Every structure is written in C-alpha cells, then in structure tokens.
Amino acid sequence: MNQHSDHELISTIVEHLNVGIFAIDENMQVIAWNNFMAAHSGQLPQDVIGQDLFSCFPELPEKWLRKKIQSVFVLKSFAFISWEQRAHLFRFKHNRQLTRELEYMAQDVTLMPIQNNTGKVVGVSFCLQDATDTCIYQNQLEMTKERLERASQTDGLTGLNNRRHWEQRLREEFGRAIRTKSAFTLILLDLDNFKEINDKYGHLAGDEVLRFVATIIKNCLREYDVCGRYGGEEFGIFLPNSSLSAATIVAERIRIAIQNQPCQYNLKIIPVTASFGLASATGRIVDHEKLISHADIALYRSKEQGRNKYTIFGQW
C-alpha cells in the first residue's frame, strides 16, 4: 500500500466525498472544485478553475449571493443557505423517486472563510450537501399531517364534516354574522323512520341511505353553505348571509330530492323522506346554541305534523 501523507489522504477524501466542495477567491474566481461538483454540474475542474463563478453558472442569484460571500470576507464568519427557505442553489438533478414538487436536488450550503497565516480572509469555501431525502420526508410529513387533520374533521361514512368540526365552524360563522349584523339561517334535518329502514333492509342499507342523503345535500348547497353530520340520522346546515326565504328554497330542494330520487340498495329501491326544522338568527339571539335549539323545536314540529315537510321556528 502506498504511503500517503496526511495531506494527500485528506485531499483524496475531499476529492471523492459525497458532498460538494468548492472554493473561490476574492475575485469570485473558482480555485477548487471537487468530484461531486464536477459530476453534478457537468463541468470539470479544468472548465471552471480560474473562471468567474457566475459566468460558469448564470442560474445563480448573483446579486444576493455576492452579498452573502462578501459577509464572509468582511466578518470572517460562516454563512448558511438552507433548502427549507431556498429550494436549491445549483440546479443539480437528484436521483430519488420522481416527484412533481422536487425537480432539483435540495441543498444545504455552508460558506466558510479561508484565512492565510496573518488571519486575512483570502477565499471562501463552500460545502454543499444533498438534502433531498430530508426534503422528501418533510413533504410526506406535511401531507400526512394535513390528512390527519382532515380526517379528524370528517365523518367517515358520509364524508361530511363531523359534528365537532361542524359545530366549531358554526360557532365561528355565527360570531361573524353577529359582528357584521348579517343574516344567518340554520337547517336541521332528520331522516324519517330510519329505524324501520334499518330493521327492514338491514344496517348496510341504512348506511347507503345516509350516503345517499349526504350526496343530495352537498349537491343542493351553494358555495358558502356548510353542512355536517349532526347525529346518527340527523344533518345540520348553516347558511351565512342567507335570509329565511333563501334557506327555505334550499330546504325544499333537498326535501324533494330525497323524496323523489331513487335510493337503491341490492336491487331494491328504498323510500326515503326527511323532516326539516329552520331557524333564523334575529337580533335577539346571541349564541349559536339557541339557534340550534330553535331549529330543533321546529324539526320536532315537522315530525309531529306528519313528517316529510319543513317547519320554520315561530311560524305555526
């Protein structure tokens, strides 16, 4: 085995390290360029050494980077570039899976001063590390967090907002309506004879009925109306900036659709209807719970009065 000197050994290691190492002098000319840089840039040491860095790589953000480099010269300190704020410095390809978000290698770069023996900074060295894996994991983590958050807000069976999330949104929107003194209406609807449907056709059929109703509701709502699964067979809808007459039209649209559209399960058509209770926020109502209570009372009246109809609170 050849007797490498200590320096030669370090040199060889730096040359072939799986990290980009290069250096520039005070005139921005490249004075060192390791194998990693050559392989990823396609530019060999002989192409770049002695050349202006920015001429060789016009994609670099020159004005900004010059200032950063200058700070190392003046302050004799380190400077850092992180993939978390800047996707990449050099446009190098990465060799991970192809993803839409990550076109080039994510990079962490450290700039360090090169000092001569009088302590003067005569050059800046760059250490460029591939952070693509971390970037990919981070993105996956963010996506998972988003999915988890959505899942915690969603009713599994129907895909609608679950009760907790819907009530929270109701609280927020209602508060806004009070502050801006704008109209606000609430609809509660409850499926008629749902227990009988479950008993006669089975629980899986019952699930299908719930999904059927959820779909109808979603299709009948306008952009800012918000619905949720309020209970086992109960749904809630709040309509910001909506008058009672507008809400009534929406309620009727849903009621008729539920009544007329066929709900099919296992080659059987299941007859479905629902009862509705409507309540409008007037100046006297100051909390959303009161509004729910009014809609609930109106809903109860619809049930009492034969089902498959709507009732407006206070109008009977």
- SS3 label, residue 221: coil
Q: Which is nearer to another protein, 23 or 187 (CB)?
A: 23
The CA distance from 90 to 107, in Å, is 8
Angle at alpha carbon of residue 254, lines to 253 and 258, rounded to 5°? 120
What phi, psi does 212 have (nearest 5°)? Answer: -60, -50
Among 15, 40, 56, 66, binds another protein (CB under 8 A): 66
117 counts as binding another protein under rule CB under 8 A: no
307 counts as binding another protein under rule CB under 8 A: no
26 counts as binding another protein under rule CB under 8 A: no
233 is a catalytic site residue: yes
Q: Which is nearer to another protein, 81 or 278 (CB)?
A: 81
Angle at alpha carbon of residue 16, lines to 36 and 33, rounded to 5°? 50
Q: Which two tokens stand for residue 110?
A: 């450290």
137 counts as binding another protein under rule CB under 8 A: no
245 counts as binding another protein under rule CB under 8 A: no
Beta bridge partners of 32: 23
108 counts as binding another protein under rule CB under 8 A: yes
Among 110, 138, 193, 273, binds another protein (CB under 8 A): 110
Count of CB atoms within 10 A of residue 214's CB? 19
Catalytic residue chosen out of the listed positions 233, 252, 289, 304: 233
What phi, psi does 87 have (nearest 5°)? Answer: -55, -45
The CA distance from 254 to 85, in Å, is 48
The CA distance from 283 to 306, in Å, is 31
120 counts as binding another protein under rule CB under 8 A: no
Q: Which is nearer to another protein, 26 or 304 (CB)?
A: 26
Interface with another protein in residues 67-106 (CB under 8 A): 67-68, 70-71, 74-80, 82, 84-86
The residue ranges that bind another protein (CB under 8 A) are 63-64, 66-68, 70-71, 74-80, 82, 84-86, 108, 110
Residues tagged active-site:
233
